[in-house]
Amino acid sequence: MTVTLADIQKAATLIEGSVVRTPLVPMQHLHDLLGFETFLKLENLQNIGSFKQRGALVKLKSLSAKEAKAGVIAMSAGNHAQGVAYHAQKLGIPATIVMPQGTPFGKIEATTRYGARIILEGDSVDAAGSHARDLAKKNGLIFVHPFDDEHIIAGQGTIGLELLADCPDIDTVIVPIGGGGIIAGIATAVKAIKPSIEVIGVESTLYPSMYSATKSETPVVGGPTLAEGIALKAAGTIPKEIVSRLVDDIFLVDDLLIERAVQLLAERCHVVAEGAGAASLAGALANRQRFSGKKVAMVICGGNIDSRILASVLLRGMLREGRMASLRVEISDRPGTLSKVAKVIGDTGGNIVEVIHQRMFYDVPVRSAELDCVVETKNREHIQEIVARLKEAGFPTTVLRATQSEAS
């Protein structure tokens, strides 16, 4: 069995009024940066912050009365868990979610808030999945797979219907790929309505599962990634068949580019996206020449990013762009010296964010000290100006970390 346009249209009727019809928003800032018309499909605006609730609701509504009474079980470390739990609670269906041990407490708490029973088992999503299947068989529960299921794929495909209804002349759709459910659904919908449309998938270079599967290669996967939502070891069987037929290309992007995409969305577009959600923009950044003169829609599939991670991404971005610098200033350890350094930096327009005195290093003379200053700056040229003024004032200064090569 495969998924058809009729299945997706039926799914759209099933979820109408229960799922947010997310906007397709033109983004002039990205247009100016990339050189082509850019639209964002904002699935991060769903009630649970992710597209996952679409497919989950369609699957839950497909159950018989007997199956619904018995309950459902799913394995997930995040968005799928919340999608299943959210709609199961609304439909009065008992839900059990198996999560890997070590799942962040925030994700556990969010899923628990929707009334699901949480079981922590295994050291990975795959291990949690094996346990969930065992429990499903033992207790007569319906297993809700996150992507390898026709109902799930049909639900995710409703994104494609909305996208073309809002902008029929879109030339290209760029979609993140994890297990493949969302791109399989979107590709089925948009290709049936508009065969000329181009569908592009994006995966992390650390987890090229669908890319490798469509080339009949064994994927080499693993490693920490900002895009944990698409960090899967194996693509889904049903999605693979659909992707092989309908998806025009798959881009692989590294974590630095995904991080850059998260930063751009937050700063330029006022859109909060998780790493997986920003992967579509990362793919466009890496291949911008390919889309010259086209109208391109990017699916921002989720916005559930940890606040501390988002803060780190934004600060790292400022360092890379020269809007923040870490300086090491050599000073004499005498009263009033720190104020002189602060005045030099302030007179240039720099804003000191943090200062740490380094007195205890054995290679620093006993009457000397080193100041590590984090300074907010305008750009790389401004960093160079601050360093030059400090040196003129008799304070040898070097630039540390990400900005050293540009401004030292």
Mean per-residue pLDDT for 29-53?
Answer: 96
Q: What are 297-319's pLDDT values in tens digits? A: 999 999 999 889 999 999 888 88
What is the pLDDT, as a whole number, of residue 213?
94
What is the pLDDT, as a whole number, of residue 359?
60
Q: What are 214-251's pLDDT values in tens digits? A: 999 988 888 889 998 898 888 999 999 999 999 999 99
Task: Name residue 186's amino acid.
Answer: I
Residue 330's DSSP bridge partners are 370
Q: Which domains, ranges and CATH numbers included, belong to the chain?
A: 5-51+158-315 (3.40.50.1100), 72-140 (3.40.50.1100), 323-407 (3.30.70.260)
User: What is the torsional sign of CA 102, 104, 105, 109?
Assistant: negative
What is the pLDDT, as a whole number, of residue 405?
40
Backbone phi, then psi, for 87, in 5-degree steps? -80, -30
Residue 332's DSSP bridge partners are 368
What is the pLDDT, as a whole number, of residue 93?
97
Is the pLDDT at 24 greater than 90? The verdict is yes
Rounded CA gap, 407 and 405, in Å?
A: 6
Q: Are strands 95-99 and 117-120 parallel, antiparallel or unpaired?
A: parallel
What is the pLDDT, as a whole number, of residue 168?
98
Backbone phi, then psi, for 156, in 5-degree steps? -65, -30
Mean per-residue pLDDT for 130-154?
Answer: 95
Q: Is 1 exposed, middle or buried (0-12, 13-18, 19+ CB in 10 A)?
A: exposed
What is the pLDDT, as a whole number, of residue 110?
84
Q: What are 61-85's pLDDT values in tens digits? A: 999 999 999 999 999 878 999 999 9
The SS3 of residue 301 is coil
Residue 304's DSSP bridge partners are none
Mean per-residue pLDDT for 164-171?
Answer: 98
What is the pLDDT, as a whole number, of residue 407?
37
Rounded CA gap, 178 and 228, in Å?
A: 9
CB–CB of 62/28 below 8 Å? Answer: no
Alpha carbon distances (Å) from 400 to 122, 256, 316, 391: 41, 19, 13, 16
Alpha carbon distances (Å) from 333 to 223, 336, 340, 365, 389: 45, 9, 12, 10, 20
Label residue 360 by pLDDT band (50, 70, 90): low
Alpha carbon distances (Å) from 402 to 59, 140, 253: 47, 55, 21
Residue 314 DSSP label: H
CB–CB of 329/394 below 8 Å? Answer: no
Q: What are 249-273's pLDDT values in tens digits? A: 999 999 999 999 999 999 999 999 9
Rounded CA gap, 33 and 41, in Å?
A: 18
Q: How many CB atoms sit inside 10 A of residue 64's CB? A: 9
DSSP of 364-390, one letter per residue? Answer: S-TTEEEEEEEEE-SSHHHHHHHHHHH
User: What residues contact residue 357 under an 8 Å CB cut-off, 6+ apart?
Assistant: 338, 369, 370, 371
Q: Are strands 37-42 and 24-26 parallel, antiparallel or unpaired?
A: antiparallel
Token pair 């630039």 is found at: 399
CB–CB of 160/186 below 8 Å? Answer: yes
Closest CA to 269 of 107, 7, 70, 32: 32
Q: Work out the mean pLDDT of the chain and round it to a whole number.
A: 91
What is the pLDDT, as a whole number, of residue 403?
45
What is the pLDDT, as a whole number, of residue 296?
98
Is the pLDDT at 401 greater than 90? The verdict is no
User: What residues contact residue 328 under an 8 Å CB cut-off, 6+ apart?
Assistant: 370, 371, 372, 373, 397, 398, 399, 400
What is the pLDDT, as a whole number, of residue 109?
85
Label residue 159 by pLDDT band (50, 70, 90): very high
Label residue 102 by pLDDT band (50, 70, 90): confident
Q: What percent of the chain has pLDDT over 70?
A: 95
Rounded CA gap, 208 and 58, in Å?
A: 28
User: What residues contact residue 241 under an 8 Å CB cut-off, 6+ apart?
Assistant: 2
